[in-house]
Amino acid sequence: MAREPKRAHIVTFGCQMNEYDSELMAGLLEGMGYQLTESLPEADVVLLNTCCVRESAENKVWGLLGTLKRYKRKKPDLIVGVSGCLPQQNGVAEEIKKRFPVVDLVLGTHNRHELPRLIDEVREGRGPVDAVLREAGDIPEGLPVRRKSGLRAWVPVIHGCNNFCTYCVVPYVRGRERSRRPEDILKEVCGLVAAGYREVTLLGQNVNSYGRDLGAGTDFADLLSDLDRVDGLWRIRFTTSHPRDFSEKLIDTIARAAKVCEHVHLPAQAGSNRVLRRMNRGYTREYYLELVEKIRAAIPGVALSTDLMVGFPGETGDDFEDTLDLVRRVRYDQAFTFVYNPRRGTPAAGWPDQVPAAEKSARIQELIRVQKEIGLARNRAEEGRVLEVLVEGPSATRPELLAGRSRTNKTVVFPGDPKLVGKLVWVRIEQGQLTHLVGRLQPES
Ligand code: SAM
Ligand code: SF4
């Protein structure tokens, strides 16, 4: 009787870059003969691809490792791996091995491509394997990637970050900025289009500094222009843009490049100059507001989203009011809101003027309330408009309806034939809700 294929399950925490890394590790596992499974109890290999940007993501990993301890008692051959940003922090890999003997393999952000060799080492009984590298090496190209969608693909263009915002752990766990060569990116995108993908999202902690380290004179705007010429590609998105590095050339390129979607994710973090300075963000609220005006003037109908943080050390009630004021002035389509929490190894974690938890909680609730009103009003303003939608599949919450995304990155649901999945259609918006738009297919679609 044929032996059942071994199964692997990956749990992903954190940002899009981690989602991409998981897709890459899924591709590598498939290459080893593993079948991917959505069911953790069925798996022979469980990989936790972790995040340490916020405490909540970190705590979930500790909880899951406790659960895996119980699974492993029933299934002693189970291989448990921990990858990503958490073990990349100084001392954390050692802590994981000490606290959780259930873990067979720890690897960081710099060598996820070595997963097959490391799993073989564990299988050969050489565990627990600690394979965290302190330095990033060259970016490996041409690895297999098992993407979740057949239509939309993540494409990293720059790894790491040089910004050292005082609250953020990313530069310590992802290393310095390393851009992929434009020809490698172009080749990957052409390959994706040939395989039927129609939309790419270019990823980086700060895509706007793309190319600086290559010394070849290519910048992010040039990359967008090159990709805009790829036949068969319909849509280009990108995230994240650092406001400080958003050049006029980039604004102009987004405005001109037909495939680049009208959506900019522009993390503000705070609306108070004092807080922005202490965060080491490198811009003022006046600069930010002016940038928003320039973007809106050059790119009609552009949607803006942002990341905002409350309770940064030393943030006073007045500072927080400045953040609310910024939100009211910009009127974001969407905002991801975070409560500051100290991250080990970052400067702000050691500052004495930490904001009490109750204060942070009151501020985040107020911020969410204000943004909800604005987000809903902006979605209602879409009523009556006809939007181009790339149909992705059945709606997650109402499977009898189709769901897709507008160029402005709004989720649009509407009744329609499932044969439309993968197509561009026109939808007249009938109702703007908090999280999505509801519409009706236009006859010419
Ligand atoms: N590179 C992006 C930028 O500069 O906007 C963001 C990367 S970070 C993974 C995503 C978001 O997490 C940040 O924009 C910030 O709002 C939030 N974040 C980072 N460190 C944090 C901390 N210590 N506490 C709370 N939120 C944090
Ligand atoms: Fe973190 Fe700042 Fe780099 Fe974004 S730009 S990843 S917030 S250090």
> What is the residue-wise DSSP string for 306-319?
EEEEE--TT--HHH
Low-confidence ranges of the chain (pLDDT < 50): none
**CA gap 226, 207 in Å, rounded:** 15
C-alpha of residue 146 to centroid of ligand 2, in Å: 27
Alpha carbon 167 to chain centroid, angstroms: 18
Our answer on whether the CB atom of 166 is closer than 6 Å to any ligand 2 atom is no
Question: Closest ligand to 51 CA?
Answer: 1
| Per-residue pLDDT at 2 | 57
CATH of region 7-131, choose from 3.90.1150.10, 3.40.50.12160, 3.50.30.30, 3.40.50.620: 3.40.50.12160
C-alpha of residue 173 to centroid of ligand 1, in Å: 13
| CATH, domain range 152-380 | 3.80.30.20
The residue ranges of every structural domain in the chain are 7-131, 152-380, 386-441
> How many other CB atoms sit within 10 Å of the CB of residue 329?
13
Q: Are 262 and 408 in contact (CB under 8 A)?
A: yes
Return the closest-CA partner of residue 51 out of 169, 177, 145: 169
| Per-residue pLDDT at 54 | 83
pTM for this structure?
Answer: 0.94
Alpha carbon 43 to chain centroid, angstroms: 26
Our answer on whether the CB atom of 335 is closer than 6 Å to any ligand 2 atom is no
Q: Are 78 and 43 in contact (CB under 8 A)?
A: yes
Q: Write phi, then psi, for 93 (nearest 5 degrees).
A: -60, -40
Could you tell me which CATH class the domain 386-441 is placed in? mainly beta
Query: What pLDDT, in 10s, does the model give residues 290-332?
Result: 999 999 999 999 999 999 999 999 999 999 999 999 999 999 9
Taking each helix axis from N to C terminus, what angle separates 317-330 and 357-380, rounded to the nearest 10 degrees? Answer: 10
* Encoded amino acid at 277, one letter: R
Q: Do strands 7-12 and 45-50 pair parallel, antiparallel, or not at all (unpaired)?
A: parallel
Nearest atom within ligand 1 for CA of residue 14: 9
**CA gap 230, 258 in Å, rounded:** 11
Sign of CA dihedral 268, 272, 274, 275: negative
Our answer on whether the CB atom of 168 is closer than 6 Å to any ligand 1 atom is yes
Our answer on whether the CB atom of 242 is closer than 6 Å to any ligand 2 atom is yes
For atom 1 of ligand 2, which residue has the closest CA?
168
Judged by DSSP in three states, 177 sits in coil
Our answer on whether the CB atom of 348 is closer than 6 Å to any ligand 2 atom is no
- HSE-CB for 412 with a 13 A CA cutoff: 30
